[in-house]
Structure 1
């Protein structure tokens, strides 16, 4: 078995905080999910999570104007400098204090970051060799409270800051002018954001109490009539440049939003169209045009507050994020349509299941929702909200068109994934709580185990009738599994036993398999001759079905042990709370077993030898409990750890405690308590190429599929643009094309691609490695939109499909976005050619008819 699984994607969570960013082309959105960053491609309808982790949850992000450098900062002020196209971490930096705002200058030379009451301006990393990637340029002082936002002028010479001291201040990075920072005061609540207008003649500021001020420049000459200082200069193109260093700012106009006692939580400005987008704490947002303060649109997207707003480069798409709902949406305000609307599970994910073809994943959570995700795109395409309590188990039928779910609300529901509806609801005669679920391979019988009556209910899917009630357990039924042949059902219970049931036989034989402790999970081997049972003591026991005896045991307690909680006074190895597996699953060939539980580790074992093959660490996020092996004693006090003392906030609204008296856990939705790292379910894909785990962070997918964005180990020292062009000149077309894909430079790719002769396309396509097919077809799909070489592109598509059709069919889920792009390009070319042919046909008919008319006229004249 291959064990080189790598982190591939994170589903189930789309937004957890921080700010949302659009890429410079405006087609993708960057969103923070815990201590990771997810990127949603709005054009190709795909999502991916970048393969790096931060120490704690991300607090702020900033992207350079050219979209190359991404800076992410966690809640402790530790930052990562990332090359976004290559998805590689370039540098680590510790700013030592929490950053409430960070912004790159429009020219990309500087970036400013807040440090409590000061603002530090750093030189942005560039192509020049320097001793350190981050070089401090200067520090801006003057505010008396925390700085909340930073925004640059269009010429990158000035930036304006907003603070909780209810003032805005203007600073400059141009050392050639004599400039004194000026303060703008007049607001009655702390300022959320402030911006320069595009022509630099106005400043707009929005405060939390719902007021929008317009500041107009008034020259020194107006104040001192004897002054002859020029306030406006003219550049080389004849455009006026406002000398901000020679200008006084005065309040021109005060505008107020029609919101009583509703606070502004976020505001952004699009300078090209003078649009202000404001988000409120009641889930309402509005779009206003300044300076006339005209309301363009208002819309309520939820009942919870809006935590972040972003505008793309063209000003057409607006991105909103809400932490309370875990929701991220992109809205096109001109057509009033949603471009993207995704929401993760509100609470923990309890169960996960793969469809038969491995293209879909179903999850059930404590929020009572059942979501179905596309593994290729990473998007949730349907959500079922019929359950009124937590969903503990989900299972696909064998054909993958029916999904079953069991819930604590006492129902088992069947969902049709063709029409997206709940077509069956199975209930028990008396109200019970269902904790486990199993569906036979034919999809005709569904079974569910209970928590309170310790029984197993059996229903017919066709009729919805209750067929049988299997009694015998004396504890809650924790897990159910059907044999691959469908003739036998195995159940695990807290009564220290696992039982096999002959559901379809007349004898109703029951075989108890006794363990030392509670059974938490059971699984059938694909050949149907063996059962694996995970118990509370951390062991996995293998039973022979025919003889009902133990054939093997795995002592996994030491393997899954690890992670020290905040309340543990000893080391992680001697923690009071034991570690165990609560979910196990065989691979498709039955040679290996994967298990997860109340730990940060997921283990894969070889079944025959009982050896540990590999151990995966699902998270290193220090914001979660149980990720550290040792705690730092300097943070420990008699009242607990200093790291547990949350920031109460400087505002009265942030300090109000709405929890009920006597509760110790707190409101998990506001994360007053640190969540514990654990995995409640793990499943292997039927294809064996990936596996998914439902963790505290979300649904993590680990895959064997390789990505060729940029691999420095695959990149040899002699692969340079010059050697690529040299190989192309020597007519080594396949070699030069693969080298160009390794470098991943678009101009170079364009040159090499068009340099391949048409008669060599079929040979190059046949020899193209499979790992480059996705890149090749994506490039052809994009290039087809703008290139006039129609036949050349169609030849490439035909040759690749002919040579690699079997591979593309087996991985059709991964190539779906590429196929859609190719289909779109081919249809566009066909429509253009059809229109041109029709036009030419009418023109030719007209010319021929004119020739016939002339011939008839000449014949008439001769007569």
Structure 2
């Protein structure tokens, strides 16, 4: 089975180390001959090392994930484990690996207790906003609106870079093709999705085929596909290069309201108002599992970083964690008194946050599923929740016209972001966690730094 692909036998059982595209010892010598390491890159969030190498004359990348790296980690032991597992990391790379791992530890040691101040209040659209999103670096962001446009903004200056015009109804779902950030996808109530150039603002393709409103979308990590979810009960996959439809994912009995690719890009999860979640094999378009257990509409779905777990939120007041391989529910996270409107993992997949119409959010351990903190203070439902990249803060957006920052461990509210004059429905951190954007029904988007 082993031939340099995803079916390699895992060589290291230590939970700290996950090498994507694992290698077995039988193949290690062949790999060393066929592959040549060019350089190593550090990845801060989540912690990891990116290997840039040449194989068959082609430049490729793979990652060594270090999701459990902490200040107590024995670096020398970790280097040995990596070298046993990854043939590209030879003895000659030991000093370089030691430097990179210590740099990662130094980054983890920095306390993130910053306070944010309103930098810009942008009268972004003439009608209410629908969503906001950063590119990977956080240098720019986009806003969608009921005014049928999407706009691209420069984060540092607050200046508008482009207005993306062409949709004939509300622009509801928006996304950058991160980590590249050179394309934007917009999904509209006009039943189409459009693909745009970030540099010029020109439309590359219009994806037609849905028979009802598009309400969610996502790029795969390779930026070769766009997935769209629609009120017509289907999801579709589209080819970024050609603009052609690749597959229609049918099987839900009601609207597809949320979807997400895993970090490898070979699986897609869709959540529906039919109370179920479906897991799809992207290359074949085949449904792998139907996740059954929620007793009301699904509101939000997400994979964790290592693709082993799926998190779902539902109008039945609960969230569930599922095993991605088997499709079985491994935990039900309860305690909210009203609908769960949003859920998310932190970037390492070790923490879970849930946001509810009951005006509270909760933080859970993804290992024990115990509630670590209950975030109490909003005076209305919370529609959006997200972690900062460091995993030390939770950001919530509420109909009470405020966004709030919370300490993950204590549950204390550390800051209230004031200024919006109507409900806030969308919020996001940039990659470094030193900027926030909030989008509101008051037609404004605010940058906090």
TM over 0.5: yes
Deviations, residues 330-384 of structure 1 (Å, cap 9, x unaligned): xxxxxxxxxxxxxx30111111111111100011101011100111001111111
Aligned 8 A contact 1:370 1:391 in 2: yes
* Aligned ranges 1:549-568 → 2 under 5 Å: 549-550=330-331, 552-553=333-334, 555=336, 556-557=355-356, 560=359
Q: CA deviation at 1:447?
A: 0.8
Tell me which of 653, 662, 687 is aligned to 2:432.
Answer: 687
Tell me which of 207, 212, 217 is aligned to 1:432.
Answer: 212
Residue matched to 1:224: none
Change (3 A) 1:490 1:695: same
Are residues 1:614 and 2:413 paired?
yes
Are residues 1:8 and 2:118 paired?
yes
Tell me which of 465, 474, 478 is aligned to 2:253.
Answer: 474
Residue matched to 2:228: 448
**Matches of 2:311 and 2:238, distance apart in 1:** 25
Q: Residue 119 of structure 2: SS of its match in structure 1? A: strand
Q: Residue 386 of structure 1: SS of its match in structure 2? A: coil
Deviations, residues 205-238 of structure 1 (Å, cap 9, x unaligned): xxxxxxxxxxxxxxxxxxxxxxxxxxxxxxxxxx
Aligned 8 A contact 1:594 1:602 in 2: yes
* Aligned ranges 1:652-667 → 2 under 5 Å: none
Q: CA deviation at 1:462?
A: 1.2
Aligned 8 A contact 1:372 1:382 in 2: yes
**Matches of 1:595 and 1:538, distance apart in 2:** 18
Q: Residue 588 of structure 1: SS of its match in structure 2? A: coil
Aligned 8 A contact 1:389 1:409 in 2: yes
Tell me which of 478, 487, 494 is aligned to 2:266.
Answer: 487
Residue matched to 1:600: 401
Residue matched to 1:365: 145
Aligned 8 A contact 1:583 1:595 in 2: yes
Residue matched to 2:446: 700
* Aligned ranges 1:15-414 → 2 under 5 Å: 344-398=124-178, 399-414=180-195
Superposed CA RMSD: 3.2
Aligned 8 A contact 1:359 1:375 in 2: yes
Change (3 A) 1:509 1:350: same
Change (3 A) 1:528 1:3: farther
Are residues 1:420 and 2:201 paired?
yes
Change (3 A) 1:425 1:467: same
Q: CA deviation at 1:581?
A: 4.0
Where is the strand percentage greater, Structure 1 or Structure 2? 2
Q: CA deviation at 1:692?
A: 1.8
Q: CA deviation at 1:502?
A: 2.0
Q: CA deviation at 1:482?
A: 1.5
Q: CA deviation at 1:389?
A: 0.8
**Matches of 2:138 and 2:261, distance apart in 1:** 19
Change (3 A) 1:509 1:540: closer
Deviations, residues 235-269 of structure 1 (Å, cap 9, x unaligned): xxxxxxxxxxxxxxxxxxxxxxxxxxxxxxxxxxx
Aligned 8 A contact 2:257 2:299 in 1: yes
Change (3 A) 1:541 1:422: same
Structure 2: tracts of 5 or more residues without a match? 1-110, 337-354, 362-375
Residue matched to 2:8: none
Aligned 8 A contact 1:522 1:534 in 2: yes
Change (3 A) 1:602 1:525: farther
Change (3 A) 1:507 1:392: closer
Change (3 A) 1:524 1:597: farther
Change (3 A) 1:361 1:554: farther
Q: CA deviation at 1:488?
A: 1.9
Change (3 A) 1:432 1:601: same
Change (3 A) 1:693 1:446: same
Q: Residue 300 of structure 2: SS of its match in structure 1? A: strand
Where is the helix percentage greater, Structure 1 or Structure 2? 1
Aligned 8 A contact 2:312 2:320 in 1: yes
TM-score, normalised to structure 1, is 0.32
Deviations, residues 255-302 of structure 1 (Å, cap 9, x unaligned): xxxxxxxxxxxxxxxxxxxxxxxxxxxxxxxxxxxxxxxxxxxxxxxx
Q: How many equivalent pairs are there?
A: 302
**Matches of 1:410 and 1:426, distance apart in 2:** 9
Change (3 A) 1:614 1:531: farther
* Aligned ranges 1:482-631 → 2 under 5 Å: 482-505=261-284, 507-536=286-315, 540-546=319-325, 547-550=328-331, 552-553=333-334, 555=336, 556-557=355-356, 560=359, 580-588=381-389, 593-602=394-403, 612-614=411-413, 617-619=416-418, 624=421
Aligned 8 A contact 2:112 2:392 in 1: no
Deviations, residues 402-439 of structure 1 (Å, cap 9, x unaligned): 111100111111111223210111110x5321111111
Q: CA deviation at 1:506?
A: 6.7
Q: Residue 458 of structure 1: SS of its match in structure 2? A: strand
Aligned 8 A contact 2:357 2:382 in 1: no
Aligned 8 A contact 1:559 1:603 in 2: no
* Aligned ranges 1:614-653 → 2 under 5 Å: 614=413, 617-619=416-418, 624=421
Aligned 8 A contact 2:174 2:217 in 1: yes
